[in-house]
């Protein structure tokens, strides 16, 4: 296991401060990032495409602003990687699918505009499981991404490329999307911080939909502080997204170090038992102890419906996906495989363009929504979703935050989980937050028996990101001072 | 409006039609339902498009507040309860539908349970009036012009995402006349509320007719066919009658219709089969996760009700009462938007019969600069015999064009009632000049009467009163 992180690319906050102070430049930061990528990414394969031209132009613009004495923004000169399911104007955006090969969106996702306005430099687009469907980044039409900490292992998924890009030290920040754990699980497996914000806190405009009621964009970072900094930049109302929360959001950065004195934290009983590796369970218990040591009031809490989360998720997410992915029909963009008539062309295009896991979920979702089966499958899954929300609400009457493992295990080897069900199990701890729309994040907390990182998950109620980040900061401090030894 | 030759004796004795209509109404918004693109008919193909109405990956819909408001106004005008509405996705593949699903309302439409009252007093239930987006427009090249055998398909997405309200009636109409009266009434409501320009020929109002038949006295609902591609009120009547006859023929020959969509062929005067129920799609409706529910507040609904303009049924009743006529005689005035003027003119003392006559015969272009006061004064001058009917028309046209005082206009045009003596002289001279024509008149050929009236009008430049000329001619003939 190597620790290849370039020191200058470890902290977005410090890098931006140095750039803003004129001690470093955006151009230098970009050059350092490019050098590490060139050195390492042939092996890791975090990136699908680099946006060199745009990145250089952005870096020049930031440096010009600073030279002119203007405010270059809180992320001035910070290189950032973007999961390749976020639209970038004029640059390839593939969702790791052959069906979108060659398509260049005519517009930027809202988060891209916000990052650019904050001075960030878009380095490139990262690998993912095709259309964000997977937990290992092995389901990419363009080949898997490897875990930079141990390249025989997966980085997790579906945002494995973005997690690996940070873990490998290419960039201090990256964006992923989380539908059932696709930010938090790879963050845990790559030993970085990963945040799934409250549904509606970050605009989905320009995020290519997998399951619209669950998808949410969030940051990866080495530190809780960087994650908070990035969240504050990308969050907030967007009139282009009707599900975006209209009220102003409280910033997380100002009170990040307020601690957890008197904060009530509940360990979710159902996520500490069978199916969770003992070393992961032990780290989670140690994390709870660290919070208690910092003044939190820690207890266990039962949220029984969480065990049905996985089943409900694998009906709701595929159902939405079956509709969201219908538009890839060969008519307007992306790949087209001709046929004798339009219907045959549609079929040929989709048969050739989608990978097996995508097809599996489209079929699953189509079935779940079919007339005669809707009530038994999709309808019942929606009722489970409501039940989970209600149970979380009940838990939050007695607790301010909840705690659980992020992933049942540390990073596994490529090819180890070849049957879909065992891969689906990777998301058992993370899915409930997506179903409820609540924020949750993964923080590295020590290593497992195999020496690979373990992540613990901090969960909060709607819009309680500030408190969630405060607890995560306490855990980061505890891990750094030997609390996870 | 009525086309009686086609609706009498359409079906054999003992059969009746069951007709329900689905009318798609394009809302007259500036922009589309879910994006900022122009909602404008007739522009160059694919010029009013953006990532959202093209359904590009990553794009999202945001509801157009004006469209939602218009839909609720229409709902209230139709007497619907306006409820929280939920957008759903109707999933099926079609190249002119960019997302391969249509955003519509399914289980929870914005408007439910209304009614339209026809001019003859019959009440037709409205089941729902829901909001949905329009599709683009396909042109299939090669083959039979249908998608299945086309060699190429051209798609114009300008119409994709245009806001529609689909108004669905109960299966309550019993003949083509009623169906046409229903559509005409809905059109008048749309025009009165301003929510649509309701032009059938431009497709801003599109009617699909569900037609079945049954024995008179039965309350069963037999297999229906949905007829599409109806582009005028006349086609609606023809299509319904054709289809109903076809159904009766099938039933009386121990056969039965298939439940299917059929296309009206205007030139052939018949319907042809389209998609049948066997290959009907399962649309897999579910609530659209990109769009929150539309929840109208009590204030919103109260505000809509307060600013609701007078609707056609109320306007017919008001004019019928003011003019002392039946509601059927007020239709032209309502259609021309002259009912307000007519009521005011009658209230200002204008003779109701004369006012209604001018509204129906001489004001096809609308009111223009004409006011109730000047209209009433003109009608009085006519009644007093101060102006001939030809002169009245001329003055009326001037009042519509430029306004003014009828007496002053008549004077400036040199109009004054001619005395009978002058007309007597002119008539004698004409009889002398045209002895053959006069002879025919005496033999009872009334057609030449027009010749003499015309010649006198010419000689007097329209100042003569035709009615008086007729009287003088009859006096002479009777000797």
Q: Which chain B residues are closer than 8 Å to A241 by Cβ?
A: 60, 62
Count the Cβ atoms, other than its own, within 10 Å of residue A483.
20
Question: Is domain A7-258+406-480 given the CATH code 3.90.1300.10 in the classification?
Answer: yes
Cα(A273)–Cα(A86) distance, rounded to whole angstroms?
A: 36
| pLDDT value, residue A340 | 87
| Catalytic member of A25, A182, A244, A407 | A182
- Contact between B425 and B459 under an 8 Å Cβ cutoff? The reply is no
- Mutation to test the B interface, candidates A245, A321, A329, most B Cβ within 10 Å: A329
Q: Between B62, B93, B284, which is nearest A329 by CB?
A: B93
Cα(B261)–Cα(A283) distance, rounded to whole angstroms?
A: 64
Q: Which chain B residues are closer than 8 Å to A327 by Cβ?
A: 55, 57, 98-100
Q: Is B287 helix (H, G, I), strand (E, B) or coil?
A: strand
Cα(A20)–Cα(A62) distance, rounded to whole angstroms?
A: 9
A135 is known as an active-site residue = no
Contact B60 A205 (CB under 8 A): yes
Any idea where the domains of chain A sit in the sequence?
A: 7-258+406-480
Query: In the predicted model, what is the mean pLDDT of chain A?
Result: 95
- Mutation to test the A interface, candidates B284, B288, B290, most A Cβ within 10 Å: B284
Q: Which residue of A has its CA nearest to B64?
A: A242
| pLDDT value, residue B6 | 46
Residue pLDDT, tens place only, A426-455: 899 999 999 999 999 999 999 999 999 999
Cα(A231)–Cα(A227) distance, rounded to whole angstroms?
A: 6
- State the pLDDT confidence band at A2, using cuts at 50, 70 and 90: very low
- The answer to whether residue A1 scores a pLDDT higher than 50 is no
Q: Which residue of A has its CA nearest to B294?
A: A242
| Distance of residue A11 Cα from the nearest chain B Cα, in angstroms | 30
A158 is known as an active-site residue = yes
A182 is known as an active-site residue = yes
ipTM for the predicted complex = 0.95
Give the end-to-end CA distance of chain B in Å, rounded to a whole number.
46
| Distance of residue B203 Cα from the nearest chain A Cα, in angstroms | 25
Count the Cβ atoms, other than its own, within 10 Å of residue A261.
11
Assign residue B411 a region: left if phi > 0, alpha if psi is -120 to 50, beta otherwise? alpha
| pLDDT value, residue B4 | 43
| pLDDT value, residue A4 | 39
| Catalytic member of A33, A135, A158, A162 | A158
Q: Which chain B residues are closer than 8 Å to A329 by Cβ?
A: 93, 95, 100
Q: Which chain A residues are closer than 8 Å to B89 by Cβ?
A: 323
- Contact between B236 and B180 under an 8 Å Cβ cutoff? The reply is yes
Q: Which residue of B has its CA nearest to A203?
A: B60
Give the end-to-end CA distance of chain A in Å, rounded to a whole number.
18
Q: Tell me how far the alpha carbon of residue A369 is from its chain's centroid.
A: 27
| pLDDT value, residue A254 | 96
Contact A212 B101 (CB under 8 A): no
Q: Which residue of A has its CA nearest to B153?
A: A342
- Contact between A191 and A453 under an 8 Å Cβ cutoff? The reply is yes
Q: Could you please report the per-residue DSSP string of B207-270?
A: EEEEEEEEETT-------EEEEEE-SHHHHHHHHHHHHHHHHHHHHTT-----EEEEEETTTTE
Range in A276-280, A419-423, B14-18, B288-292 the model is least confident about: A419-423
Q: What b/e sequence results for A59-79 when a residue is b if at least 16 CB atoms lie within 10 Å of its CB, and e otherwise? A: beebbebbeeeeebbbbbbbb
Tens place of pLDDT per residue across chain B (479 aa)? 444 444 467 888 899 999 999 999 999 999 999 999 999 988 999 999 999 999 999 999 999 999 999 999 999 999 999 999 999 999 999 999 999 999 999 999 999 999 999 988 899 999 999 999 999 998 888 777 677 777 788 999 999 999 999 999 999 999 999 999 999 999 999 999 999 999 988 889 999 999 999 999 899 999 999 999 898 999 999 999 999 999 999 999 999 998 889 999 988 999 998 866 556 679 999 999 999 999 999 999 999 999 999 998 899 999 999 999 988 889 889 888 899 999 999 998 888 999 999 999 989 888 899 999 999 989 888 887 778 778 888 889 989 999 888 888 888 887 766 666 777 888 888 888 888 888 888 888 878 888 888 888 888 777 777 777 887 888 887 76
Give the predicted TM-score (pTM) of the model: 0.87
Q: Between A106, A331, A378, which is nearest B95 by CB?
A: A331
- Contact between A205 and B57 under an 8 Å Cβ cutoff? The reply is no
| Helix, strand, coil % in chain A, rounded to nearest 5 | 45, 15, 40
Q: Which chain B residues are closer than 8 Å to A370 by Cβ?
A: 282, 284
Cα(B445)–Cα(A24) distance, rounded to whole angstroms?
A: 110
Contact B100 A242 (CB under 8 A): no
- Mutation to test the A interface, candidates B33, B35, B60, most A Cβ within 10 Å: B60
Of B332, B404, B402, the residue nearest B374 (C-alpha): B404
Cα(B468)–Cα(A230) distance, rounded to whole angstroms?
A: 94
* CA atoms lying within 13 Å on the CB side of residue B76: 21
Count the Cβ atoms, other than its own, within 10 Å of residue B425.
10
Q: Bridge partners of A444?
A: A455
Cα(B198)–Cα(B316) distance, rounded to whole angstroms?
A: 20
Of A133, A130, A113, the residue nearest A122 (C-alpha): A113
Cα(A412)–Cα(A414) distance, rounded to whole angstroms?
A: 7
- Gyration radius of chain A over CA positions: 21
Q: In terms of pLDDT, which residue wins out, B351 or A172?
A: A172
Q: Which chain A residues are closer than 8 Å to B286 by Cβ?
A: 319-320, 323, 369, 374, 378
* CA atoms lying within 13 Å on the CB side of residue A362: 17
Cα(B330)–Cα(B316) distance, rounded to whole angstroms?
A: 6
**What are the structural domains, with CATH classification, of chain B?**
4-305 (no CATH), 312-412 (no CATH), 420-478 (1.10.10.410)
Cα(B259)–Cα(B275) distance, rounded to whole angstroms?
A: 9
| Element (DSSP H or E) covering residue A459 | strand A453-459
Q: Which chain B residues are closer than 8 Å to A87 by Cβ?
A: 56-58
Contact A329 B63 (CB under 8 A): no
Residue pLDDT, tens place only, A197-225: 999 999 999 999 999 999 999 999 999 99
Q: Which residue of A has its CA nearest to B36?
A: A240
- Contact between A260 and A292 under an 8 Å Cβ cutoff? The reply is no
| pLDDT value, residue A142 | 97
Of B207, B190, B204, the residue nearest B74 (C-alpha): B190
Contact B57 A319 (CB under 8 A): no
Q: Which chain A residues are closer than 8 Å to B282 by Cβ?
A: 370-371
Cα(A330)–Cα(A342) distance, rounded to whole angstroms?
A: 9
Residue pLDDT, tens place only, A60-78: 999 999 999 999 999 999 9
- Which residue numbers of B have CB closer than 8 Å to A's CBs? 51, 54-63, 89, 91, 93, 95, 98-101, 147-150, 153, 155, 282, 284-286, 289-292
- State the pLDDT confidence band at A7, using cuts at 50, 70 and 90: low
Cα(B154)–Cα(A340) distance, rounded to whole angstroms?
A: 16
Contact A105 B58 (CB under 8 A): yes
């Amino acid at each position: 296991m190597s620790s290849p992180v370039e020191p200058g690319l470890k902290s977005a906050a410090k890098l931006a401060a140095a750039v803003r102070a004129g001690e470093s430049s955006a151009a230098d930061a970009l050059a350092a990032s490019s050098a590490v990528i060139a050195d390492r990414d042939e092996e890791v394969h975090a990136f699908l495409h680099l946006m060199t031209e745009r990145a250089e132009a952005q870096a020049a613009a930031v440096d010009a602003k600073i030279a002119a004495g203007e405010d270059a923004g809180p992320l001035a000169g910070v290189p950032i990687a973007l999961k390749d399911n976020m639209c970038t104007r004029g640059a390839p955006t593939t969702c790791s699918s052959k069906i979108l090969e060659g398509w260049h969106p005519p517009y930027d996702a809202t988060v891209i505009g916000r990052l650019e306005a904050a001075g960030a430099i878009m380095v490139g687009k990262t690998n993912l499981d095709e259309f964000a469907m997977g937990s290992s980044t092995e389901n990419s039409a363009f080949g898997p991404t490897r875990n930079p900490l141990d390249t025989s292992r997966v980085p997790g998924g579906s945002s494995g490329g973005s997690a690996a890009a940070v873990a490998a030290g290419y960039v201090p920040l990256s964006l992923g999307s989380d539908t059932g754990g696709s930010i938090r699980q790879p963050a845990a497996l790559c030993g970085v911080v990963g945040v799934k914000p409250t549904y509606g806190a970050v605009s989905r405009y320009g995020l290519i939909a997998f399951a619209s009621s669950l998808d949410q964009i969030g940051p990866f970072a080495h530190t809780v502080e960087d994650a908070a900094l990035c969240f504050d930049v990308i969050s907030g109302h967007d009139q282009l997204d009707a599900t975006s929360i209209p009220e102003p959001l409280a910033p997380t950065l100002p009170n990040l170090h307020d601690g957890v004195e008197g904060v009530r934290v509940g360990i979710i009983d159902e996520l500490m038992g069978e199916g969770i590796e003992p070393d992961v369970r032990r780290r989670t218990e140690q994390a709870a102890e660290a919070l208690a040591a910092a003044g939190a009031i820690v207890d266990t809490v039962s949220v029984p419906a969480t065990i049905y989360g996985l089943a409900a998720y694998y009906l709701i997410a595929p159902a939405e996906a079956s509709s969201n992915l219908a538009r890839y029909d060969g008519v307007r963009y992306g790949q087209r495989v001709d046929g004798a008539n339009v219907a045959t062309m549609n079929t040929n295009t989709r048969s050739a363009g989608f990978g097996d896991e995508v097809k599996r979920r489209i079929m699953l979702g189509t079935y779940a929504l079919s007339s005669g089966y809707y009530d038994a499958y999709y309808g019942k899954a929606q009722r489970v979703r409501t039940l989970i929300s209600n149970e979380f609400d009940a838990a939050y009457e007695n607790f301010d935050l909840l705690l659980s493992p992020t992933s049942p295990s540390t990073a596994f080897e490529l090819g180890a989980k070849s049957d879909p069900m065992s891969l689906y199990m990777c998301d058992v701890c993370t899915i409930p937050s997506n179903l409820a729309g609540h924020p949750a994040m993964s923080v590295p907390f020590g290593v497992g028996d195999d020496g690979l990182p373990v992540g613990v998950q901090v969960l909060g109620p709607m819009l309680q990101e500030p408190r969630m980040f405060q607890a995560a900061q306490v855990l980061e401090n505890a891990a750094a001072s030997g609390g996870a030894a | 409006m009525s086309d009686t030759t086609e609706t009498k004796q359409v079906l054999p004795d003992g059969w009746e039609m069951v007709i329900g209509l689905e009318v798609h109404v394009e809302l007259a918004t500036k922009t589309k339902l879910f994006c900022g693109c122009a909602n404008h008919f007739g522009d160059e193909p694919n010029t009013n498009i953006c990532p959202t109405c093209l359904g590009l990956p990553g794009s999202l819909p945001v509801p157009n507040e004006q469209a939602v408001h218009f839909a609720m106004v229409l709902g209230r005008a139709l007497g619907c309860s306006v409820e929280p509405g939920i957008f759903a996705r109707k999933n099926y593949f079609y190249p002119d539908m960019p997302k391969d699903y249509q955003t519509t309302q399914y289980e929870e439409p914005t408007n439910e349970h209304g009614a339209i009252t026809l001019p003859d007093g019959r009440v037709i239930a409205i089941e729902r009036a829901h909001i949905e987006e329009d599709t683009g427009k396909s042109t299939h090249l090669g083959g039979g012009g249908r998608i299945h055998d086309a060699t190429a398909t051209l798609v114009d997405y300008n119409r994709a995402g245009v806001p529609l309200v689909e108004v669905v009636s109960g299966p309550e109409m019993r003949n083509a006349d009623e169906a046409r009266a229903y559509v005409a009434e809905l059109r008048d409501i749309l025009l009165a509320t301003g929510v649509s320009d309701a032009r059938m020929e431009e497709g801003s109002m599109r009617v699909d007719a569900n037609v079945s038949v049954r024995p008179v006295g039965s309350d069963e609902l037999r297999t229906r066919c949905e007829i599409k591609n109806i582009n005028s009120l006349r086609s609606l009547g023809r299509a319904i009658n054709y289809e109903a006859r076809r159904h009766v023929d099938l039933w009386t020959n121990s056969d039965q219709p298939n439940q299917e969509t059929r296309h009206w062929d205007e030139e052939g005067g018949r319907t042809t089969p389209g998609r049948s129920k066997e290959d009907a799609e399962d649309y897999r409706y579910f609530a659209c996760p990109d769009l929150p529910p539309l929840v109208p507040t009590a204030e919103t609904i109260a505000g809509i009700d307060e600013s609701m303009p007078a609707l056609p049924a109320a306007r017919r009743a008001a004019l019928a009462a003011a003019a002392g006529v039946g509601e059927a005689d007020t239709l032209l005035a309502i259609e021309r938007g002259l009912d307000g003027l007519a009521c005011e003119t009658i209230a200002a003392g204008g003779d109701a019969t004369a006012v209604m006559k001018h509204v129906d015969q001489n004001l096809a272009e609308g009111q223009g600069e004409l006011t109730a006061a000047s209209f009433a004064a003109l009608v009085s001058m006519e009644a007093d015999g101060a102006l001939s009917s030809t002169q009245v028309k001329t003055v009326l046209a001037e009042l519509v064009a430029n306004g003014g005082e009828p007496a002053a206009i008549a004077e400036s045009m040199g109009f004054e009632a001619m005395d009978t003596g002058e007309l007597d002289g002119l008539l004698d001279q004409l009889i002398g000049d045209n002895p053959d024509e006069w002879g025919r008149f005496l033999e009872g050929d009334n057609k030449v009467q027009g010749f003499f009236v015309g010649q006198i009008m010419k000689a007097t430049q329209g100042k003569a009163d035709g009615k008086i000329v007729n009287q003088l001619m009859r006096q002479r003939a009777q000797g």
